[in-house]
Amino acid sequence: MNIIGIIPARYASTRFPGKPLVSIAGKPMIQHVYEKSKSVLQHVIVATDDVRIEQAVLSFGGEVAMTSEHHKSGTDRCAEVLQTLENKNSNCDVVINIQGDEPFLSTEHLKLLASAFEDPKVQIATLVKQITNTETLFNANTPKVILDKNSNALYFSRSTIPYLRNFAPQEWLQHHTFYKHIGIYAYRSQVLKEITQLEQSTLELAESLEQNRWLENNYTIKALITEHESIAIDTPEDLAKLLNSSMI
Separation of alpha carbons 18 and 20, rounded Å: 6
Residue 238 has pLDDT above 60, yes or no: yes
Number of domains in the chain: 1
Instruction: Please report whether residue 81 resides in a domain.
Output: yes
Region 10-29: mean pLDDT is 88
Residue 246 has pLDDT above 70, yes or no: no
Q: Please report, rounded to a whole number, the percentage of residues in the chain having pLDDT higher than 90.
A: 81
Instruction: Please report whether residue 40 resides in a domain.
Output: yes
pLDDT confidence bin for 114, thresholds 50/70/90: very high
Q: Which of 73, 79, 110, 14 is nearest to 65 (CA)?
A: 79
Q: Are 186 and 40 in contact (CB under 8 A)?
A: no
For residue 244, with 0-12 CB atoms within 10 Å meaning exposed, 13-18 middle and 19 or more buried, which class applies? exposed
- pLDDT score of 156: 98
- pLDDT score of 54: 97
Average pLDDT score over the chain: 94
Instruction: Please report whether residue 240 resides in a domain.
Output: no
Instruction: Please report whether residue 158 resides in a domain.
Output: yes
Instruction: Please report whether residue 243 resides in a domain.
Output: no
pLDDT confidence bin for 232, thresholds 50/70/90: confident
Pairing assessment for the beta strands 179-188 and 27-28 based on DSSP bridges: unpaired
Instruction: Please report whether residue 177 resides in a domain.
Output: yes
Residue 104 has pLDDT above 60, yes or no: yes
- pLDDT score of 242: 76
Q: Please report, rounded to a whole number, the percentage of residues in the chain having pLDDT higher than 70.
A: 98
Supply the DSSP symbol for 72. Answer: S
Q: How far is CA 189 from CA 7, 75, 224, 239, in A?
A: 16, 12, 19, 34
Q: Decide which of 65 and 248 is more confident.
A: 65
CATH code: domain of residue 228 = 3.90.550.10
Which domain does 102 fall in, by range?
Answer: 3-235
Instruction: Please report whether residue 247 resides in a domain.
Output: no
Instruction: Please report whether residue 229 resides in a domain.
Output: yes
Region 23-39: mean pLDDT is 95
Amino acid at 75: T
Q: Which pTM value belongs to this model?
A: 0.94
Q: Which of 4, 7, 3 is nearest to 184 (CA)?
A: 7
- pLDDT score of 82: 96
The per-residue pLDDT for range 173-231, each reduced to its tens digit, is: 999 999 999 999 999 999 999 999 999 999 999 999 999 999 999 999 999 999 998 88
- pLDDT score of 41: 97
- pLDDT score of 235: 84
